[in-house]
Structure 1
């Protein structure tokens, strides 16, 4: 989109600006100042350079944004080429972020795209605080939780829950696709619901019982999981490299032989990669539609030229061109965007290890929690010396470690280091729970 095209949106008054009820803070001010901010000053971070990320980068560049950075940890695989259109055969094996940035710079020279190769967790708060808006195209729930917590944490609040410095608010537009379905979501830290608020709406990751995999396989996925979980460790002394064609070919061959033994059809190289890498089915047209939804929200958030999405936009392409929007409400006990203390009622004989296990299940779904009180460290995952020193506490009853109504601070790798959950432990009077 040429500059003259966005001039029609940025230089003229509009009846669709930030009216009462809009999520954006402020009012639309048509003129050169708004245009210059959008095209010269506004810094956009794109997280993920896969199918959705490629489309987002293209749309941003053609929508007038000139200062864009992209972060992605993956390298290009042959299977990416059918839908991640910024990549070519010659790019296989190279980092996605670097190739995507080069392509955009070459096609749209006015747009300066800087690439970062690595995980989102590798960057600190100073890195993320440089941006005006973040557009996420991740397919990894854990990374999205971490990024969400980082951006919410940057918007510090006072004791009454009011944001201290509005300039610290960095909106995130989160997009996702699966087959012919997709969604775009606007998250304004401390004002709207955050990604963590909707965690319980995600289906659990599909797994298969090991007994079924080993004894009575019935699906191609069972054969592939057997090759991955049983046969690979027997033959290899290292972890599977999911980006290695040799490793994927080995798993495919082993899974094919097992499928033949049990007369199971459907084991293919693509399905093998899908099971091992937990690949979500992707359709190029869905990526294009959802990317347009996401970049449209980025444009509105940064220019205030129209009311922003409140807060969810779902696209269902399998039954025609159909979509709907709805507001995802904030959870009062969200561990990221609420300041409440969660109360856990349990038996005094419940062990610390049982509490740790509970924290990894619904509704919190933590990964590897560490726990401490104001006076003592109950269990710490790292470093190894402290893990070994605090491990005996896992077998002790909570009543031997903390007093009734004591508050426990919980940290976990799914959140940045300065984000913590506070639990108040209440012992049940009757010894139950």
Structure 2
């Protein structure tokens, strides 16, 4: 048994129950601790003063907030744009039926602060894009519990772009967690040093899509009816009104419309939850998976903040659908990554494609995943989504052969309104 000193005992008593457990880690060296690590009260003080930002207060976010607070972090901020829905209550344990309709960030912050003494959690109810670089610069660590690829790409690019080589404090470690059913992953990103989120975009599974001709004419599945109501019927009925996937009234309309179409074709299985799942590409969440991934993320935050043990380098995969399996590996940084790399990405095109067909292939390419691209070369604008005058001016290019607009080996800059960076493609022809 390891002997505990009087100083350790006093610190443990002063820190309370969970403080005692934390001090047992921080006030002694372990088998994997770096030789330069110096146990002492300064480490605990730094842990309590470092600002941590949690992005997302849903299934993962609730677990992360609770774990960080119980791990000794005292200054936590949380961002979430959603309000609490009845369907959240089975796994987002910081919420109660009386909280339905309230902002997730503020309710989660209040719940944790009531139960963990001395912790301050500052909520922000809004989008991560509402904040500027100065806001993100105040944090020492950023932990993501997001369910959106677009939001992950945005915060990843923002933190990479913030890095100033002359200012070490501008580098903000990003810990990203994700859960899909019985599977999940946790990773540590050191912007500009390790591989970033964009480097591993091609690891994401291909999103399921359905042919327009099928959903328009011969639906066979409940998903076909839901896609018809969102892709075809919503624009026809509401014209220029944009569908909001987070608006319950919009989802209800899609559900009712899809149900009527399903009845016409004797199709069963259209439900409100399935409508949400198809429209928002939702995979059912499992509370135990959230707990495992959140715990992994918070362990990494604790190790980075205290240096008491080596942090993950840099990717951990978890699978619980066929026994319990975890695997860690180092994902390599890509020189042609559009965010942290310095080379353009090679893209092989068919010489017979039109510009519009080229854009369709971009949307289908895993490593790019651009939804509403605007394209330029050094010599001209190929197609611009906005403003309306420039969209109208460049629209005729969509039907032109790509080869007449882009020379073999020429670089094309692709931007998207949802991303704070441009993708540079070096186009060659097959």
Which SS does the other structure have where 2:220 is aligned? coil
State which drifts further: 60-69 or 381-390.
381-390
Partners of 2:85 and 2:100 within 8 A in 1: yes
Gaps of 5+ in 2: 1-16
Residues 339-350 of structure 1: matches in 2 within 5 Å? 339-343=342-346
Which residue number in structure 2 is paired with residue 80 of structure 1? Answer: 88
Residues 169-248 of structure 1: matches in 2 within 5 Å? 169-236=171-238, 238-248=241-251
Compared CA separation, residues 63 and 387, structure 1 to 2 (3 A): same
Compared CA separation, residues 322 and 368, structure 1 to 2 (3 A): same
Which residue number in structure 2 is paired with residue 34 of structure 1? Answer: 43
Superposed CA offset, 1:39-68 (max 9, x none): 12x111111111111110111111111111
User: How many angstroms apart in 1 are the aligned matches of 2:360 and 2:237?
Assistant: 32
Which residue number in structure 1 is paired with residue 73 of structure 2? Answer: 65
Partners of 1:352 and 1:393 within 8 A in 2: yes
> Alpha-carbon deviation of 1:242?
3.9
> Alpha-carbon deviation of 1:371?
4.1
Partners of 1:77 and 1:243 within 8 A in 2: no
Task: Establish whether residue 335 from structure 1 lines up as the match of residue 350 from structure 2.
Answer: no
Residues 370-409 of structure 1: matches in 2 within 5 Å? 370-372=374-376, 379-391=383-395, 407-409=411-413
Compared CA separation, residues 318 and 8, structure 1 to 2 (3 A): same
Compared CA separation, residues 84 and 213, structure 1 to 2 (3 A): same
Which residue number in structure 1 is paired with residue 275 of structure 2? Answer: 272
Partners of 2:337 and 2:345 within 8 A in 1: no
Compared CA separation, residues 91 and 243, structure 1 to 2 (3 A): farther
Which residue number in structure 2 is paired with residue 7 of structure 1? Answer: 23
Which residue number in structure 2 is paired with residue 429 of structure 1? Answer: none
Compared CA separation, residues 233 and 367, structure 1 to 2 (3 A): closer
Which residue number in structure 2 is paired with residue 411 of structure 1? Answer: 415
**Partner residue of 1:304 out of 304, 307, 315:** 307
State which drifts further: 401-410 or 324-333.
401-410
Query: Pairwise CA RMSD of aligned residues?
Result: 2.9
Which residue number in structure 1 is paired with residue 169 of structure 2? Answer: 167
Aligned length: 412
Which residue number in structure 1 is paired with residue 100 of structure 2? Answer: 92
Task: Establish whether residue 17 from structure 1 lines up as the match of residue 33 from structure 2.
Answer: yes
Q: Could you state the TM-score of these two structures normalised by the residue count of structure 1?
A: 0.85
Which SS does the other structure have where 2:305 is aligned? helix
User: How many angstroms apart in 2 are the aligned matches of 1:410 and 1:393?
Assistant: 15
> Alpha-carbon deviation of 1:129?
1.6
Which residue number in structure 1 is paired with residue 128 of structure 2? Answer: 120
> Alpha-carbon deviation of 1:327?
1.8
Task: Establish whether residue 141 from structure 1 lines up as the match of residue 149 from structure 2.
Answer: yes
Compared CA separation, residues 164 and 374, structure 1 to 2 (3 A): farther
Task: Establish whether residue 364 from structure 1 lines up as the match of residue 363 from structure 2.
Answer: no
Which SS does the other structure have where 1:259 is aligned? helix
Which SS does the other structure have where 1:94 is aligned? coil
User: How many angstroms apart in 1 are the aligned matches of 2:18 and 2:142?
Assistant: 23
> Alpha-carbon deviation of 1:282?
0.3
Partners of 2:80 and 2:125 within 8 A in 1: yes
User: How many angstroms apart in 1 are the aligned matches of 2:55 and 2:332?
Assistant: 24
Which residue number in structure 2 is paired with residue 159 of structure 1? Answer: none
Superposed CA offset, 1:243-295 (max 9, x none): 44444344333433433443433222222222223222101111111110110
Gaps of 5+ in 1: 20-26, 157-162, 427-431
Partners of 2:349 and 2:358 within 8 A in 1: no
